[in-house]
Amino acid sequence: GPELKILHEINYESLERSAIPLLSEAIKRMRTKKITLLPGYDGEFGKVKIFTQEEREKLSKQQSLFIFRTSKKEFDKKEGKKKEKRGIENLNTEKKKERKKTGTEKKKDNDILSTLNKDQKKAVLHKKGPLMIIAGPGTGKTRTLTHRIAYLVKEKKVSPKNILAVTFTNKAAREMRERLEILMKDVKEFPLIATFHSLCFKILQKQENIQRLTVIDDDERKTFILEALKDIEKKGININEKAQVLLDKVVYAKQQIIGPDNNIKKINGEKNPEAFSLFYKAYQNILSTQKLCDFEDLIYMVVKLFENNDRIRKNYMEKFKFIFIDEYQDLNHGQYRIIKALAPPDNTNNNICIIGDPDQSIYGFRGSDVKYFTLFTKDYNDTKVITLTKNYRSTETILEASYQIVKNRSTFDPAKEIKNLEKPGKFTRRVYSGIGGLKKITILELLTERAEAESISRAIEQMIGGTGHHSIDTGRVKDSYSTKERSFSDFAVLYRTRSQSQSIVDVFNKRGIPVQTVSKDKMFNIKYIKQIISLLKIIEGVGSYTDVERVNKIITPGISRQTVDIFKSWAKQSKFSLKKAIITSGRLPLPGMSRQRQINFHVFMDSFSRLKKEMKGMTVEKKLLYITENTKLKATVKNSPEPKDAFDKLIDISKNHGNNTDEFFTATALQTDTDTYYPQAEKVSLMTMHAAKGLEFSVVFIAGCEKGYIPFERGEDKETDIDEERRLFYVAMTRAKERLYLTHARKRRIFGKTVSRD
């Protein structure tokens, strides 16, 4: 029909002449497969998305095709006024059409409640006051939150600027915003939706007395911990502890809002508080000199800001009159203090809504504590408690099997711990779906981890009908759940530790099964990705001396590592930030640097200024593309498959930040494993059980179901939190929609030795 001709044949110029705004750009993206597939959740169908809200607004004003050109001159070419004018005229036409919507269409737009079940509707319609929603896996947690926000804005006329929604991952924040864009498509302004850390970064950015900060990632933090250790050893102070142990103590101290000058004895097991305090100070000095902060500093600094400046705290309290916190069971001490500062329990006008599931609290290792969930009804006495038990994801077999894991846990009974339950005597943590399916989950015992990986790959091939040159010729399992059509993206393999993935990846590659390993390290620890980010940081006047070390060879001409070391040593002794060091080094000769070396160094530094001028006014996305095309990274990114895949993901992240490089740097530093999952990738997903939180797949394999992994034994005299291990296994099991496989090996190679497993 004519629709197919439009989709596949008509040229872009003809499409642009139509009176339909954005049509040409939309068709172009469809033909080049530059679209986003939003997965379905909890009973809702998935959606095909072509534009983000920001892109729609931008393109409506100027119909840009987002074509990247490799030189500055080409970037400035042919942004014709006629096309811009035509785009604006089309926008006006579209607005007129929108004003003429029928009453039926308006009713449909405002029909927020029709897709909700009884308990979800009760939560959405809650009038005022504190609200706790206990939401088991697959019960429509995000749907309930977003529909309540949309209801407040569209029906109760609450201003979006007075609403704050806090999540724990960028993925969750992005998903929430995408759903609200659909529910509130006729609303111009949107609530602030952010992770705890990005919220804190935004708050700190607005404070005049706080310097511009750059957030470092885990890898950089380890580098600075080692540097701090060397600094105090030079002063004759010896700490006989490993760097990782010291890092863990610093992290714990900041999570508990304990500074280097506070009572260090509060840190559990600290035998030498004086020495640790000096080490802690040395680490913080390294960060403050270079205008850096780490992951925990963001929370720490905002807690201190709110508790020491009541005027600022009250301003934010007045601004955010409606607060929503997702995954409240994962709160840690610092985050708890922020919430209490924004919504003090003694405030009679608190409209705070929390949602979560105590049985999915799995981040104790990073300071979260399920006790804060139970404290909520004690902090806020008039809390309304609603429980969601209707599961839209998994078969009854999977739900019953997973429930066996948590029903006999040794601590915490919500019926006893949480006040204001509607029917405490009938409260149950069991969720129900009524979805039929296989009557049993599958348990496979294999001889080795290699045999385990082979067995998983064969099962996937059987269910997908063969994958090409290594397909299975044996008969399929004769049930509707094996013969139904599936794609690679329907499968996930979960494991307790990252080290378990290698044998699975090796076997899958050999058998021609495409995989995506969901891990921030797999993406952001690629050398070329780090170099691209470091180069942009230097150009933007932020970052650390370490960034200069990373890029010394990717700009022509480059400089030697020895030259970098001389510069770094001088800058550190002078206590200069990177930006000040670069400016000052251009005015005077550096001690210890020969004349020729000095000339090369200045030419190298001038390259940053040149690139900065050439990229003036570009978006973050175009800056990344530009520096890649105009440095030695061009060939590496284009010719090497692994970095190219990671580079594409980096570009996707950059699109969410427009011209704001500071927010982009923060977003990359704060990425979680889950944030790197791409549902549109036609690949089997491999990830840790922690990374799987919030995701769902038709078929799930949990590998390594054996003592040592599940529950995980940490060693080094560290006790295993059995309750948390139960909850983690429960989370892993409830990712499965239709089929669940638990696999284990009788023998496994660990640290180079083959050991027997139970």
3 state SS of 153: helix
pLDDT value of residue 468: 39
Q: Measure the CA–CA gap between 61 and 59, rounded to whole angstroms.
A: 5
Note the pLDDT of residue 496. Answer: 96
Looking at residues 362-377, what average pLDDT do you find?
91
Claim: this prediction has a pTM higher than 0.75: yes
**Residues 159-175 pLDDT 10s:** 999 999 999 999 999 99
Query: What's the first-to-final CA gap in the chain, in angstroms?
Result: 62
Q: Is the pLDDT of residue 382 over 70?
A: yes
Of 99 and 524, more confident:
524
In this prediction, residue 338 has a pLDDT band, given cuts at 50, 70 and 90, of: very high
Question: What are the structure tokens assigned to 306, written together?
Answer: 């709110």
Inter-CA distances, 445 with 278, 700, 741, 743, Å: 52, 16, 11, 6
Q: What whole-number percentage of the chain has pLDDT above 90?
A: 63
- Cα separations in angstroms, 107 against 122, 124, 153: 21, 18, 15
Would you mind telling me the total number of residues written for the chain in this entry? 758
Cβ neighbour number for residue 502 with a 10 Å cutoff: 12
Report pLDDT for 419.
73
pLDDT of the residue at 7: 72
Q: Predicted confidence band at 92 (pLDDT cuts at 50, 70, 90)?
A: very low
Q: Which of 518, 675, 660, 652 lies closest to 168, judged by CA?
A: 675
Question: What is the spatial distance between Cα 496 and Cα 711, in angstroms, rounded to a whole number?
Answer: 9
The reported pLDDT for the residue numbered 640 is 75
pLDDT of residue 113: 93
Query: For residues 591 and 28, which has the higher predicted lDDT (pLDDT)?
Result: 591
Asked if 458 and 472 count as a contact pair (C-beta separation under 8 A), the reply is: yes
Helix, strand or coil for residue 237? coil
Q: Which residue has the higher pLDDT, 94 or 742?
A: 742
Bigger pLDDT: 25 or 108?
A: 25
Q: Residue 64 has what pLDDT?
A: 37
Q: Which of 69-78, 217-226, 589-598 has the lowest mean pLDDT?
A: 69-78
CA–CA distance, 146 with 177 (Å, rounded to integer):
8
Task: Write down the pLDDT at residue 452.
Answer: 96
More confidently predicted of 532 and 91: 532
Lowest mean pLDDT among 153-162, 194-203, 394-403, 591-600: 591-600
Which pLDDT tens digit goes with each residue over 185-219? 888 899 999 999 999 999 999 998 888 889 999 99
| DSSP at 719 | P
Stretch 680-698: mean pLDDT, rounded? 96
- Per-residue confidence band for 66, with pLDDT thresholds at 50, 70 and 90: very low
Are the beta carbons of 677 and 483 closer than 8 angstroms?
no
**What's the confidence (pLDDT) of residue 277?**
92
Cβ-Cβ contacts under 8 Å for 318 (sequence gap 6 or more): none
Q: Distance between CA atoms of 450 and 128, rounded to whole angstroms? A: 56
The predicted structure's pLDDT at residue 24: 74
Q: Which pLDDT value is given to residue 279? A: 95
87 has pLDDT over 80: no
Q: What is the mean pLDDT of residues 211-236?
A: 93
Backbone angle region of 176, left / alpha / beta, with phi > 0 → left and psi within -120 to 50 → alpha: alpha
Instruction: Check pLDDT > 60 for residue 676.
Output: yes
Q: How confident is the model at residue 613 (pLDDT cuts 50, 70, 90)?
A: very high
Q: Residue 38 has what pLDDT?
A: 61
SS (HEC) of 607-632? HHHHHHHHCCCCCHHHHHHHHHHCCC
Tell me what pLDDT residue 227 has: 95
Name 702's bridge partners. Answer: 494, 742
What is the reported pLDDT for 212? 85
d(CA 143, CA 125): 14
| 3-class state of residue 656 by DSSP | helix
The chain-wide mean pLDDT, for the chain, equals 85
pLDDT at 26 over 60: yes
Q: 621-644: per-residue pLDDT in tens?
A: 999 999 999 998 888 888 777 767
Measured CA angle at 488 (ends 651, 480), to 5 deg: 150
pLDDT at residue 40 greater than cutoff 70: no
Does position 55 have pLDDT exceeding 90, yes or no?
no
> In the predicted model, what is the mean pLDDT of residues 709-738?
89
Indicate if the pLDDT at residue 256 is higher than 80: yes
Compute the distance between CA of residue 250 and CA of residue 248 in angstroms, rounded to an integer.
Answer: 6
The predicted structure's pLDDT at residue 543: 86
Tell me the angle at which helices 641-654 and 620-629 cross, rounded to the nearest 10 degrees.
150
| pLDDT confidence bin for 34, thresholds 50/70/90 | confident
Q: Per DSSP, what are the bridge partners of residue 432?
A: 390
Residue 421, pLDDT > 80, answer no
pLDDT tens per residue across span 494-547: 999 999 999 999 999 999 999 999 999 888 889 899 999 999 999 999 989 999
Per-residue pLDDT at 709 exceeds 70: yes
**At a CB cut-off of 8 Å and minimum separation 6, what does 647 contact?**
528, 529, 532, 628, 637
Residue 41 has pLDDT above 70, yes or no: no
Range with lowest mean pLDDT among 17-26, 689-698, 726-735: 17-26
Residue 503 burial class via C-beta count within 10 angstroms: exposed 0-12, middle 13-18, buried 19 and up? buried
Q: Tell me, what's the pLDDT at 152?
A: 97
Please name the residue that has the structure tokens 């704060």: 670
Does the pLDDT at position 43 exceed 70? no
At 208 the pLDDT is 84
Q: Which domains does the chain have, with CATH numbers?
A: 2-60 (no CATH), 118-208+299-392 (3.40.50.300), 214-290 (1.10.10), 442-469+482-518+678-756 (3.40.50.300), 522-676 (1.10.486.10)
* pLDDT of residue 134 exceeding 90: yes
Asked if pLDDT for residue 680 goes beyond 90, the answer is: no
Contact 345, 94 (CB under 8 A): no
Peptide bond into 711 cis (omega under 30): yes
